[in-house]
Structures are given as structure tokens and as C-alpha cells.
Structure 1
Amino acid sequence: MTTVFLDYGTFNSGLDVNSIRQVTEKLTLHEFTQPAEVISRAQHAEIIITNKVVLDAETLAKLPKLKLICVAATGTNNIDLDAAKQRQIEVCHAKNYAGPAIAQYVFSQLFKRFQNIEQHNYNVASGKWSTSQAFCLHDQPINELAGKTLGILGYGHIGQAVAKAARAFDMKVLIAERPDSQTVREGRVSFDDMLAYADIVSLHCSSTPATQGLINSDRLAQMKPSSILINTARGDLIDNNALANALRTQQLSYAILDVLDQEPPPSSHPLVAGMVSGDIPNLAITGHIAWASQQAQQRILNIVTANIVGFNTGKLINKVN
């Protein structure tokens, strides 16, 4: 089948797409595709692979040959699933690929915060250790993760991977119940209790109408002033202005964000601007790369291949519509 990958540029170069080529008659890779280019590039495609390119009802109506959409990600908010179903277009996504990568990211950031390793490396490179009167150069303090409490909201594939790593460092793990739940399942704690008791809160839940703006000024006030907030899930889970204010006033010790509500963000974004200017020094932001180890990216492409094979053999997997 004729296949078009509309935004292969969202992946690193050097990944292996040969498995996809082997299960399609023709594969065309486009680095990026603007909305006005979708129809011309995909009009003859029977299969579209997309990471973030939007395929809405109007676009799908102009792609009569399309039979399968492979989303090279877990989220499918860029696809009009109802319109696809009406047109008998199957939609499959990729899931359970990013756990190791995101767990590694979370703890890389925590190590940087608790170990101050960059400063200690610099102390030697700058010659500071060579002039020390003591055999060891303490400088910035080092704190242990052991004994700290990690609260997790969203206990799927990724949340479980983060919890596994936390337990390996002798951390206590609190798994939060859904914020709107009236009952608390065994092995979990209420969302409010997790916020109150956790030293570190890590978000791994989906963006839904119920979770958008979930971390607002009231929720931030429930957290310890010494606590750390980590978001590798979706940017719109957090009220930007509330977080910026909490960090500036030291109501919250530190925040680590890999996602924002606008991606890429404008330079005027309240959190980006605060970090760049130094106005919010207790904030670290990375550009939505927690998921993006080479291995995780390759797993996505392998899942896309499996989705195409499933479609070709009449045994669909990872179907979402």
C-alpha cells in the first residue's frame, strides 16, 4: 500500500524505517507537513503515518483512498476519530514505548537537583579543588533521594516505570487516586493526600476536560513548600500563572517541566520567560524530549510496522476508533 509519513522530522535521524518499507509498497517520508500541504502529499495514500499533523473531518473528506492512519504517538487528539470511523478509516496508535525513557528523564533531573553534579564537575575543571585545604570539596550540598516520598498521578505504563525506579532508590511511592473519584482503591491514596505528603509530585496522566488546569493555585497550596513538581505528561494540566507565582514566592521549591500548553512555546510564555530571564531560577524546562530516547523512538516505528502488518492481515492491533 502507498504510505506517507507526514512529519518524520519529529523523530531523530538515524532511526531504522526499513521495517515499514518492507510492509508497504511505497513509503514517502516528509520532514514536516504544513496544513495546506496535507491534501497534495496524501491524496494518493492508503496509509498515513503522523505524529502531530492534524487530520480533521474536512481533510479526511478529501482523502478518498485513505484506509489506515497510524499515529506515531500515544495521543490521538490530532485525529477526528468520529470522522475517520464514518469513512471506515482505521486509526491505530503507539503505546507502552516510553516508560524506560521517561523514568530515566525524571531521575536525571532529580539527580541534577539533589546531587548538584554539574557544580561539582565544574569545581574540578575550574581548579577550585586544587586549591582546597581539605581532601574533599563540599561546596554545594548533596541530598539523598532515599527516604523521600514520590507521589504519582497516572499509574499506567509510564507511571509504573517511574515508581519502579523510585523504589530502587528506597523512596516511598504514593499512587494517587483520580482527583474526581469518590472512592480510593486499595494500594492508592486520595489525590489530596498525595499532594500533601509527597516530597516530589510527578504527573503522568492524560489531558482530559477533568484534568486540564488541575494543578492550580489551590492544589499548589496543598503541597509542601519544600516539594518538587514534575510534569512529563501534558502541559495543560498546569495553570501557568499559578505555577509561576508559586515558584517566585517559594510556595513551591522547584518545578521540572518537559511539556507546556503551547509547543513550541512563544518566548513570552510566562514560564519560559521567567526561566530565561532568571526571574524564576527554581524552574527547569526541556523541549518535550523525555520520551525521545533513541530506543523509545525506534519502538514507536516498530509499533507502526506492527500496526500496518495487523491491518494487512485483518488482525488490527492498537485500534483506537
Structure 2
Amino acid sequence: MNIVVLDAATLADTSLDELAQLGSLTCYNLTNQHELIERCQDADVVVTNKVVINQQAMAQLPQLKLICVAATGTNNIDLPAAKAHNIAVTNVAGYSTPSVVQHTFTLITNLLGNTHKYIRDCQQGLWQQSPMFCRLDYSFNEIAGKTLAIIGYGSLGKAVAEVATAFGAHVIISERKGHTPREGRVSFEQALKTADIISVHCPLTEETRDQIAAHELNMMKPSAILINTARGGIINEADLASALANNVIAGAGVDVLSKEPAEADNPLARYTGDNLLLTPHIAWASKESIIRLVKEIALNIKAFNQGNERNRLV
């Protein structure tokens, strides 16, 4: 079995020995679209994180039997085309939950405690100039007692809610925008209006695209912070940058953008205010998370070889 990994660089030098034990393994750090056909010509199995494999590519790869997506989202794979070409497709879910939850609270605690500002000041020698033993230049606020709204109550949203509760927050679950609240949930509008912290964990769909824009940002408390470790495009980036610049909300922590890597003219990438924490799509990528990811891919391939369906989408 020939196994080709198209973007091994996204696996951060994690050992791929478990994949190598399953067949002849060829790894490319990154693959451009024009390189795809040549590199996969003899592949039985292709492992891809973000490289797009569409109908045109599948039609030129008659040996391809299995596409393993090294992620949960599969928007880079033409699933109907895979079915038509009798190519199995698997993904991996749940591997990054601890990592994403940790990064979510890294953003929350830094924004509430203004930790990034204090670190900056210490690096600039301002502590040495303090007339007292500490510096109290910026507010330091606790999660305890705050209302934290979860938008997207899947496995990640539930895990964030559990940790928030341990911190002493009052957790509320937002209903989908435009829907009547189910039992145990509040309306989308009420979540925006009442929350001190809003954490987004829903998928990007046509329904959720730009679901938080200027109108929604103006509903929020001026003291509220907004966290997005889900998908870029759920929050309108230009409107968020404007809201931060004009103190419509207190701060935001963003790990994802609508186009990645960040483009030079992206409003959030260009924003220089210290009430935004922007990180380069790293919430999923703890060392432990990627090790779990590789292990799951290997198990998906083993199951396929044995005629079993595991994490199958097609």
C-alpha cells in the first residue's frame, strides 16, 4: 500500500512511524495544487490536512482508494465526487478538544487579566520604576461570577462550559441564531446582551457566516470579550476591528481568520490595539493533540484495510 502525506509540515515533526508500518510512506512538507496529481499518481492512500482534492483530481487518480483528512473539517474534499469515484474518506474528531479548550482559556485569562500588557511592561523595564512592590496599571478581572455564553454546544462547547463552571462562571448556552430557544438554552440575542464572555465553537456554514457583525457587536456589553477558536468567517472581521477600535466591546481573542494564512490587508491582522489577541490558528495544535491525530489516522487506515468503517464520511 502506497501512502502519501501531502502536508506533513502541519503535523509539526510528529513521528509518522505508525503510518510507515502500514505501507510505503512518502511525505511532502507542503503540496501546491499543481503538484497534487504527480505526487499522488501511485497512491492508494492520501493523507491531507488542507490540500484540496476535488473531482478533477480524483478523476486523474484511478489508484486512489482512501483519503484521510488530518482534521475534523472536510471542506477541502469533494465528498460527492469521492462517492462517485468509490474513494473512501475519513476524518478525525475529538483529538484536539483539550488543546482547544486550553487555548480558549489562555485567551480569556489574558484578556481579563491584561497579562499581555503586564508582560510587555516588564520587558520594557517599567516594574523597576514602580514606587511600590507591584504595578496596578491595568484591571485584573476574574472569570468567577462572570456570565460566559457558549455559541456552538458540541463537544468543544461542552468542554469549555465544564472548565468555565470550574472557574466559577455562570454558563449560558446560546440557541442558534433565528431559532426559538430549546429547553436549557437562551436566545442568540439574549446571549449576546447578557454575557461578559462569549466563546464561539460552532462550525462555519452559510447559516453561521458573519453571524456576529456590527449589529450583534453593538448588542454586547461594552465590558464584554469575544473569543473565536472555531472558524474564521463566523465573525465579520472588519466589523470586529471597528468595534475594538471604538471600544464597543472590551476585547477579543481570535485564533482563526476567514483566509489563512492571514492576508496583509485583513482588518484583524492589521489591527494594532492591545485589546485584541490574535494567534495563528494554533488552538488545535498541542504536541499531545497532534500525536492523537496521527494515531487516529493510522487506526482509520487499519480499519479500511480490514474492511471496517471507522470515522468514514464516504
TM norm structure 2: 0.95
Work out the CA distance in 1 between the residues paired with 2:137 and 2:241: 29
Change (3 A) 1:123 1:243: closer
1:181-211 Cα deviation digits (max 9, x unpaired): 2x32222111111111111111110111111
**Cα distance between partner residues in 2 of 1:186 and 1:96:** 26
Indicate the residue corresponding to 1:66 in structure 2. Answer: 64
Once the two structures are aligned, what percentage of the paired residues are identical?
43
- Rate the CA distance shift 1:126–1:195 in 2: closer, same or farther, 3 A: closer
5+ residue gaps in structure 2? none
Among residues 199, 222, 235, which one is paired with 1:225 in the alignment?
A: 222
Change (3 A) 1:85 1:124: closer
Aligned to 1:211: 208
RMSD of aligned alpha carbons: 1.7
Q: Which amino acid aligns with 1:295?
A: E
Instruction: Tell me which residue corresponds to 1:177.
Output: 175
What is the deviation of 1:134? 3.8
The 3 A distance-change label for structure 1 pair 225 and 123 is closer
Whole-Å separation in 1 of the counterparts to 2:301 and 2:54: 21
Where does residue 311 of structure 2 map in the other structure? Answer: 318
Give the equivalent residue in structure 1 for 2:296.
303
Distance in 1 (CA, whole Å) between partners of 2:84 and 2:289 is 32
Match of 1:18 in 2: 17
Report the alpha carbon displacement of residue 119 of structure 1 after superposing the two structures with TM: 4.7
Matches within 5 A, 1:1-321: 1-13=1-13, 15-22=14-21, 24-120=22-118, 129=127, 132-181=130-179, 183-275=180-272, 280-321=273-314
Query: Structure 2 counterpart of 1:264, which letter?
Result: P
Q: CA deviation at 1:226?
A: 1.2
Identify if the C-alpha distance between structure 1 residues 56 and 131 changes in structure 2 by more than 3 Å, giving closer, same or farther.
Answer: closer
Offset of residue 25 of structure 1:
1.6
In the alignment, is the contact (CA less than 8 A) between 1:258 and 1:289 conserved in 2?
yes
Check conservation: 1:99, 1:159, Cα contact below 8 A: no
Partner secondary structure for residue 226 of structure 2: strand
Q: Distance in 2 between matches of 1:132 and 1:80?
A: 60
Cα distance between partner residues in 2 of 1:114 and 1:132: 22
- Cα separation, 2, equivalents of 1:120 and 1:256: 17
Q: Bigger CA drift: 240-249 or 285-294?
A: 240-249
Deviates more, 1:129-138 or 1:237-246: 129-138
Is residue 255–residue 278 contact of structure 2 (8 Å, CA) maintained in 1? yes
Q: Which amino acid aligns with 1:103?
A: V
Pairwise CA distance, 1:135: 4.3
Deviation string 1:280-306 (CA, Å, 9 cap, x unpaired) is 442121110011100111111111011
Deviations for 1:137-167, whole angstroms, at most 9, x for unmatched residues?
4333321111011111111121112111111
What is the CA distance between 1:178 and its match in structure 2?
1.4
Deviation at residue 130 of structure 1 after TM alignment: 5.6
1:127 Cα deviation after fit = 6.1
Question: Aligned pairs, how many?
Answer: 314
Gaps of 5+ in 1: none
